[in-house]
């Protein structure tokens, strides 16, 4: 029993002859349906989703973590009534975990059965050559659909129902996986060398996401509708938080949005995401906060800041974000040096640094450069900064810290 040579033809014919009703009437319909599902899509994003549904092209979403890329795929599946299939990418991933693998347990069991029946298969063979041919015909069954274990990419193609395929954080996988994806993205088909080519009966709606930890190939981008997502502006972020029914009054939510945006301007290893801002709003509502004081924000800052160094910087900055003229209570500082020293704040050094490359906006812009992260981006042991020093403190940062103390030689925080 060998492979069915007509399978690909049948699948291809099914794709060309089946005309499914488009899921969206127009761009406004995308916005309305996504909003009803709790996802506030702007005009640019809604236009891209609408074009995907009409042009039958995948979407590639690039941007920092936590801006709604993965959630878009989940919402797309919800509003279109499709099943969501997800391939979570990781370093070292190969095609066997993305496309398919062989069920070796079943193959081994079949080998034992064949061993018992082999004498019956060849008992009436007239020649040795005929016996070998009969055994060879049985061996072909080992690499048939009977023993094929599909993974998300192949499952999306073979599905009898329309699906949304999410290829999440494709930039974390090796470039070899990109090559595997090209055939699927261009032709909605995948090839299994031992069997043949599978062509989708129902073209999946494909969404790829990337956190920009490395540059993706031009071949992959060429096959997709590309969209860069960033953190929304303050009114849009407030609208998103209000839509999630966090329980936080609107006046406090407005203030919280500004504080979160201020934290994003700091030199943090990981800036607070939209989903983390929503969690912070819910946390403050559960605690019954009727005012966003520096103390309650510092006590709950770990909801949006996930690394110790970032937490120290956030707690130091929160009082100034709440009130630029506020006196900073000593117990809110995450470092141990004495703030009671008498260095002169009247010198000409500009503490805002808004005019040079070390300002918050400049650092934020630098983080948005493609391929800026090394292998240690996700916190691997022994991670080093761009300056080549452990802990992520560059020589420039050290010198600026000493300058703020007027050359007193006290330890920087």
Same structural domain for residues 52 and 185? yes
pTM exceeds 0.75, yes or no = no
Same domain, 203 and 311: no
**Final residue in a domain of this structure, among 168, 202, 228:** 228
**β-strands 205-210, 83-88 pairing:** unpaired
- Give the tens place of pLDDT for each residue, 33-80: 999 999 999 999 999 999 999 999 999 999 998 899 999 999 999 999
Same domain flag for 318 and 269: yes
Which residue has better confidence, 219 or 400? 219
295 part of a folded domain: yes
- Whether residue 158 is contained in a domain is answered as yes
Between these two residues, 59 and 197, which has the higher pLDDT value? 59
Query: Where among 83, 117, 147 does a domain terminate?
Result: 147
Across 3-17, 76-90, 274-288, least confident range:
3-17
Mean pLDDT along residues 271-289? 95
Q: How many other C-beta atoms are found inside a 10 Å radius of the C-beta of residue 330?
A: 9
Q: Both 89 and 168 in a single domain?
A: yes
- Domain co-membership, 138 together with 168: no
In the chain, pLDDT over 90 holds for what percent of residues?
46
Q: With bands split at pLDDT 50, 70 and 90, how would you rate the model's confidence at 189?
A: confident
* Per-residue model confidence (pLDDT) at position 361: 53
Q: Does residue 355 form part of some domain?
A: no
Q: CATH number of the domain at 52, please.
A: 3.40.50.300
- How many other C-beta atoms can be found within 10 angstroms of the C-beta atom of residue 378? 13
Work out how many domains the chain is built from and give that number: 3
Query: Is the model's pLDDT at 196 over the cut of 60?
Result: yes
DSSP letters spanning 145-193: GGGEEE-HHHHHHH-SS-EEEEEETGGGS-HHHHHHHHHHHHHSEEEET
220 and 178 in a single domain? The answer is yes
Q: Which domain holds residue 108?
A: 101-147
Confidence of residue 147 (pLDDT cuts 50, 70, 90): low
Neighbours of 157 (CB within 10 A): 25
Same domain, 264 and 184: no
Q: Are residues 310 and 200 part of one domain?
A: no
Q: What is the mean pLDDT of the chain?
A: 76
Under 8 Å between Cβ of 36 and 7: no
* 306: Cα separation from own chain's centroid: 17
∠ Cα 251 255 257 (to 5°)? 115
Same domain, 294 and 188: no
Within this chain, do residues 88 and 105 fall inside the same structural domain, yes or no? no
pLDDT of residue 274: 94
Q: In terms of domains, do 114 and 238 share one?
A: no
The predicted-structure confidence for 201-226, as pLDDT tens digits, reads as follows: 899 999 999 998 889 999 999 999 99
């Amino acid at each position: 029993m060998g492979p069915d040579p007509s399978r690909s033809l049948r699948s291809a014919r099914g794709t060309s002859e089946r005309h499914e009703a488009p899921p969206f009437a127009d761009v406004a319909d995308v916005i309305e349906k996504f909003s009803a599902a709790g996802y506030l899509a702007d005009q640019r994003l809604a236009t891209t989703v609408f074009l995907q549904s009409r042009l039958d092209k995948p979407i590639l979403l690039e941007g920092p973590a936590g801006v709604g890329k993965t959630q878009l795929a989940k919402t797309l599946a919800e509003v279109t009534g499709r099943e969501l299939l997800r391939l979570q990418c990781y370093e070292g991933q190969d095609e066997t975990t993305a496309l398919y693998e062989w069920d070796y347990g079943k193959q081994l069991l079949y080998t034992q059965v064949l061993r018992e029946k082999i004498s019956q298969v060849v008992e009436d063979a007239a020649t040795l050559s005929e016996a070998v041919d009969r055994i060879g015909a049985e061996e072909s069954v080992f690499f048939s659909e009977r023993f094929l274990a599909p993974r998300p990419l192949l499952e999306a193609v073979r599905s009898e129902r329309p699906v949304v395929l999410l290829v999440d954080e494709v930039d974390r996988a090796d470039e070899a996986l990109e090559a595997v994806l090209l055939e699927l993205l261009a032709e909605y088909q995948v090839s299994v060398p031992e069997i043949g080519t599978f062509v989708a009966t129902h073209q999946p709606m494909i969404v790829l996401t990337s956190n920009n930890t490395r540059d993706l190939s031009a071949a992959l981008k060429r096959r997709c509708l590309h969209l860069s997502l960033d953190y929304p502006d303050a009114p849009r972020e407030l609208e998103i938080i209000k839509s999630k029914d966090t329980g936080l009054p609107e006046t406090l939510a407005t203030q919280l949005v500004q504080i979160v945006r201020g934290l994003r301007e700091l030199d943090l290893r990981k800036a607070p995401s939209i989903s983390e801002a929503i969690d912070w709003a819910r946390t403050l509502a559960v605690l019954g906060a009727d005012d966003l004081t520096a103390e309650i924000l510092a006590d709950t800052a770990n909801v949006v800041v996930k690394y110790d160094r970032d937490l120290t910087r956030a707690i130091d900055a929160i009082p100034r974000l709440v009130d630029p003229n506020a006196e900073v209570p000593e117990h809110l500082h995450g470092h141990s040096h004495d703030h009671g020293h008498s260095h002169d704040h009247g010198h000409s050094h500009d503490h805002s640094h808004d005019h040079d490359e070390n300002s918050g906006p400049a650092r934020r812009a630098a983080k948005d450069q493609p391929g800026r992260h090394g292998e240690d981006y996700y916190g691997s042991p022994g991670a080093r900064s761009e300056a080549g020093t452990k802990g992520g403190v560059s020589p420039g940062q050290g010198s600026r810290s000493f300058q703020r103390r007027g050359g007193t030689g006290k330890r920087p925080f």
